[in-house]
């Protein structure tokens, strides 16, 4: 029981830190993106469709040409890490009095260098803790940027649809499990790696095998509830905070279901997290 509790604390810590950082980034990004997010309906009607089409083409290419899957994963993951970490670092630098007073025009260059450094460290220093640190910056940045560009109702619809998809993809077709396995084999893991023992954070990512010693929390399970919280920043930061709390409760339910298995197998983690996030949104909307 103690080991299970310790594992959950590690999972919760990474999950909660990402949500908090993502909401903070959304608060700081909102004034800068006020023009970009002015027409929300245009984004949800066109850009979102393009993103879905791109994702479908990407996954089709990976399945049809498995020999290139490793290259595809690493290339896409590299682009995401660089873009998101650069955004996070640029906002952080802008908030530092030292950066604003002394760096001046060098702040964007510093952020660019920081993004390149994060990317280099991710691929060259392959410790689990480095993987999780870079993912923390990346997932928070993605959640904040896309969350601000969506309305809460749009995110709720996305959560419902993807929850059902997650169930089908894991338990019926199994292709989500196969996709995760190919990502692990390619060492391009888009998510958090949580070891059952603290010493596991020093292990090399190449030694990670999901099972008794490591647990993987996928990026979607972290980003999607953050999308809802970040979308609420334009309305109320307090409402966003309520969603984060309920998302953590959903993570607790997911963890209880996962650790109660006699033999640990991949499970659809999103449905409980999404359900509790939506409940949190409803509670916040009615009470705040």
Q: Report the DSSP beta bridge partners of residue 49.
A: none
Return the exposure string of 51-67: e unless at least 16 CB atoms fall within 10 Å of the residue's CB, then b: eeeeeeeeeeebeeeee
Nearest to 12 by CA among 247, 284, 262: 247
Q: What is the pLDDT of residue 215?
A: 84
CA pair distance 164, 12, nearest whole angstrom = 24
Q: What is the pLDDT of residue 271?
A: 93
CA 124 to chain centre: 22
Note the pLDDT of residue 38.
41
Note the pLDDT tens digit of each residue in 244-266.
Answer: 999 999 999 988 887 777 766 77
pLDDT (mean) for 73-87: 86
Structure confidence at residue 197 as a pLDDT band (50, 70, 90) = confident
3-state secondary structure at position 127: strand
Count of other CB atoms within 10 angstroms of residue 281: 26
Q: What does R_g of the chain's alpha carbons equal in angstroms?
A: 19
User: Domain range for residue 166?
Assistant: 2-287
The reported pTM is 0.84
Token pair listed for 120: 């280099």
Q: Could you count the other beta carbons within 10 Å of the beta carbon of residue 20?
A: 15
3 state DSSP class of 193: strand
Question: Would residue 39 be called left, alpha or beta, if left means φ above 0 and alpha means ψ between -120 and 50 degrees?
Answer: beta
Residue 233 in tokens? 């920043």
Residue 220: partners with Cβ closer than 8 Å, 6 or more residues away: 162, 166, 270
Cα-flanking dihedrals φ and ψ of residue 174, to 5°? 75, 5
pLDDT of residue 105: 58
Cα distance between residue 97 and residue 196, in whole Å: 40
Q: The tokens of 228 are what?
A: 């809802």
User: Taking 50 as the threshold, does the pLDDT of residue 282 lie above it?
Assistant: yes
Q: How many domains does the chain have?
A: 1
Asked which of 38-52, 96-110, 165-179, 243-257 is least confident by mean pLDDT, the reply is 38-52
């Amino acid at each position: 029981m103690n080991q299970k509790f310790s594992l959950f604390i590690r999972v919760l810590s990474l999950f909660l830190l990402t949500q908090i950082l993502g909401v903070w980034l959304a608060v700081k990004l909102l004034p800068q993106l006020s023009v970009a997010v002015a027409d929300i309906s245009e984004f949800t009607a066109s850009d979102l469709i393009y993103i879905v089409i791109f994702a479908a083409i990407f996954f089709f290419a990976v399945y049809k040409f498995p020999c290139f899957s490793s290259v595809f994963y690493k290339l896409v993951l590299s682009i995401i890490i660089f873009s998101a970490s650069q955004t996070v670092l640029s906002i952080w630098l802008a908030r530092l009095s030292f950066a604003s007073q002394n760096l001046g025009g060098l702040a964007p260059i510093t952020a660019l260098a920081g993004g390149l450094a994060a990317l280099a460290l991710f691929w060259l220093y392959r410790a689990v803790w480095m993987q999780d640190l870079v993912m923390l910056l990346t997932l928070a940045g993605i959640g904040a940027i896309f969350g601000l560009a969506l309305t809460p109702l749009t995110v709720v619809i996305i959560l419902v649809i993807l929850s059902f998809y997650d169930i089908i993809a894991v338990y019926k077709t199994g292709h989500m499990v196969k996709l995760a396995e190919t990502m692990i084999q390619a060492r391009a893991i888009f998510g958090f790696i949580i070891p059952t023992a603290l010493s596991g954070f020093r292990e090399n990512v190449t030694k990670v095998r999901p099972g008794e010693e490591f647990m993987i929390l996928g990026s979607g399970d972290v980003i999607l509830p953050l999308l809802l919280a970040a979308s609420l920043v334009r309305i109320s930061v307090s409402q966003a905070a309520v969603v984060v709390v309920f998302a953590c409760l959903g993570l607790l339910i997911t963890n209880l279901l996962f650790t109660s298995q006699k033999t640990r197998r991949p499970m659809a983690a999103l449905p409980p997290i999404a359900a509790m996030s939506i409940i949190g949104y409803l509670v916040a909307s009615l009470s705040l």
